Structure 1
Amino acid sequence: MSERTTLSRRGFLSGTTLLGGLALAPALMTGCSRTESGTGGPQADADLLGKLRKQGFVRVGFAGEAPYGFKDGNQLAGQAPTLHKEIFSQLGVAELRPTLTDFGALIPGLLADRFDVVSAGMAITPERCAKVIFSEPEFVSPTALMVRSKNPKGLSDLKSCADKGVTVGVLTAAVESGYAKGAGVSASKIKSLAKQQDGLDALVAGRIEAFALTGISLRWLAQSNKGAAVEVLDPFLPELDGKKQYSPGGAVFRPNATALRDAFNTELAKITGDPDRYVSLIGKYGFTSREIPPSTLRTADLCGS
């Protein structure tokens, strides 16, 4: 995770085969870099939903990061594309046309009309809210610990790591380092790692005794390393300055596409309000009922407005 209450865009796993992805158009199977020409502009965005219904597709930007949004062979897969496919289908837009880009280029690409929606599980932060508008939260990302099988140290959260003096692995420049310090883990007991796989490898080798990251990402990591002698503990909400860190993410729209955003939110609420439907849609990507945003967690508050 990077920034306060945000998700990391460093070293997410990719390339693992999953079932149930969304088929890509043939022209996008080879590079996923070609974009549809758009009309853009405030007036076009004001009736963007009408335009999308008429043309029958929505252009989505994604960053190739599992389990949020990635290409699995010739299919678009992950939490955000799967959820967005369901929502846009309900809105009368049958097809997602994807554009693969670097995570840092998603918002600039959206504003440049390269695509209509960012479908990448992007974290909702005040800094981003100053440039674009977000849907209501699609998920929250409670922190969890990966430990060796049978949890030999009897850990449960970062406070237990501090109490027992264990070494905790975190991703370099990620917020888990701050969470660990806030829970009382000494700086000498925090080990920075370059990528997720390094965390699992260090844990198995005994160089660390716990690896802290979002539960979503750790479950994906464990699934991608079947047979590794590790387990993922129940998620928990760290606190910084007395505030719980939910780390929510959502869909992203251009500032004038409020009608589309509002229609999207209406359908999203039907899904987040139905835990069985939510898990049936994106459970295969590691999302559980624990990742459903609480009804009191609102984007307006997260954006600081």
Structure 2
Amino acid sequence: MADFPNLSRRGFINRSAAVGGLLVVPGLLSACSKADAGAADGEGALDKLRKQGFVRVAYANEAPYGYMEGEELKGEAPTLHREIFKALGVDELKPTLSEWDGLIPGLQAGKYDVVSAGMAITPERCANALFSEPEFISPTALMVRKGNPEELTDLASAKAAGVTIGVMSGAVEGSYAEGAGIPESKIKTVQKPQDGADAVKGGRIDAFLLTGISLRWLAKTNPETEVTEAFVPELDGKQQFSPGGAVFRQGNEDLRDSFNRELKKIVSDRSRYVGLLQEYGFGATEIPPATLKTADLCKG
């Protein structure tokens, strides 16, 4: 398992549009049409899954979103998807491991039915696949030394206190810090999440800026630190929710829509959502707002 690979789904400032399976590989569309032949015969994708008794899901072995622990598929997406598909009459998830940039091409080729990896919803990805409504948002937080000696709560408090903030090299949090008015001299870059935790513990930075999901997971193995309450940063006056969802093959709108109906029941029930996903660092702050819609996110 990668050190902390959720960064691939959040996106980096200068990433190519090809990352995350955004290029359509020649031949994949014809494979997709064969995989969906049942729909042309009057049998929808969900009907096929109910008949076979399982759904093929792809994961990228990235904690806490979707990963194998021993023989068990765990994480936010598989846990949520297992609950939803059981409600839809499909009792089993059959996992397939994929490299991150092969997830959407593999879906197009019919290797699996759903991407169960907490993938970020972006306009480029929407052009090549169907996304569910958001399963979660990724509000930002700060990792600080135990006791939070600077009493930091968000980027505004960090700016007021004049502290030094650590961010991942090339990741979006650097732009959040700059947008909040923190001087460049007070922003330090690190290469890996653990580097950020080590810098906090060693006093080289006062706080490490990353998603609350990521930092809570990281704090499990760094007990000398603590994580602030998550907050939604703004960039150019726009809130940065960083939502993720399940991904379906184009043409499987019936399956996507059925999934969305069950998903809505869960995200509308705070205690149920948190009960399912708190093991993986997801809490009430990760529940997507009802006004946040995939159709709007796909437009950019």
TM over 0.5: yes
How big is each residue's C-alpha offset from its partner over 1:43-71, in whole Å with a ceiling of 9 and x where there is no partner? Answer: 43571111111111111011111111011
1:57 corresponding residue in structure 2: 54
1:271–1:277 contact (8 Å) kept in structure 2: yes
Match of 2:38 among 22, 40, 44: 44
Is there any run of 5+ residues in structure 2 with no aligned partner, and where?
1-5, 13-30
2:253 to 251, 254, 258: 258
> Equivalent residue for 1:152?
149
- Which residue is equivalent to 1:97? 94
Superimposed CA distance per residue, residues 117-176 of structure 1 (whole angstroms, 9 cap, x where no aligned partner): 000011111111111110000011110001011111121111222222211111121100
SS at match of 1:270: helix
2:243 is matched with which residue? Answer: 248
Contact 1:2–1:175 (Cα < 8 Å) also in 2:
no
Corresponding residue for residue 83 of structure 2: 86
Instruction: State whether residues 68 and 74 of structure 2, in contact with CA within 8 Å, keep that contact through their aligned partners in structure 1.
Output: yes
Shift in Å, 1:40: 4.2
Report SS of the residue matched to 1:67.
coil
Q: Distance in 1 between matches of 2:256 and 2:39?
A: 10
Compute the displacement of 1:42 (Å).
Answer: 4.3
- Separation in 1, partners of 2:294, 2:53: 28
The corresponding residue for 1:201 is: 198
Query: Is residue 292 of structure 2 the alignment partner of residue 301 of structure 1?
Result: no
Deviates more, 1:185-194 or 1:257-266: 185-194
Q: Which moved more, 1:212-221 or 1:159-168?
A: 159-168
Distance 1:275 1:224 in 2: 27
Q: Which residue type is aligned with residue 73 of structure 1? A: G
2:59–2:116: 8 Å Cα contact kept in structure 1? Answer: yes
CA RMSD after TM alignment: 1.9
Distance 1:259 1:273 in 2: 21
Cα distance per residue 1:212-260 (max 9 Å; x no partner): 01111111111233xx221100111111111101111000001111000
Q: Return the alpha-carbon distance in structure 1 between the equivalents of residues 32 and 95 of structure 2.
A: 14
Query: Identity across aligned pairs (percent)?
Result: 59
Matches within 5 A, 1:1-305: 7=10, 40-44=34-38, 47-225=44-222, 228-304=223-299
User: Structure 1: which 4+ aligned runs deviate by more than 3 Å?
Assistant: 37-46
Q: Are residues 183 and 56 of structure 1, via their aligned partners in 2, closer, same or farther at CA, if it must alter by over 3 Å?
A: same
Gap regions ≥5 residues in structure 1: 10-36
Q: What letter matches 2:259 in structure 1?
A: F
Matches of 2:192 and 2:253 in 1, distance apart?
Answer: 37
Secondary structure in 2 matching 1:120? strand
**CA offsets 1:98-118 (integer angstroms, 9 cap, x no match):** 111111111111111111100
Matches of 2:204 and 2:100, distance apart in 1: 31
Q: Distance in 2 between matches of 1:233 and 1:224?
A: 16
SS in 2 for 1:303: helix
Cα contact 1:202–1:208 (8 A) shared by 2: yes
Partner SS, residue 111 of structure 2: coil
Q: What's the TM-score, normalizing by structure 2?
A: 0.87
CA–CA separation in structure 2 for the residues paired with 1:107 and 1:170: 29
Matched pairs, number: 274
Alignment TM-score, normalising by the size of structure 1: 0.85
SS of structure 2 residue aligned to 1:76: strand
> Partner letter of residue 179 of structure 1?
Y
Q: Distance in 1 between matches of 2:193 and 2:106?
A: 27
Does the Cα contact within 8 Å between 2:130 and 2:248 map onto a contact in 1? yes
Structure 1 CA distance, aligned partners of 2:264 and 2:254? 16
Paired AA for residue 81 in structure 2: H
How far apart, in 2, do the equivalents of 1:302 and 1:289 lie? 21
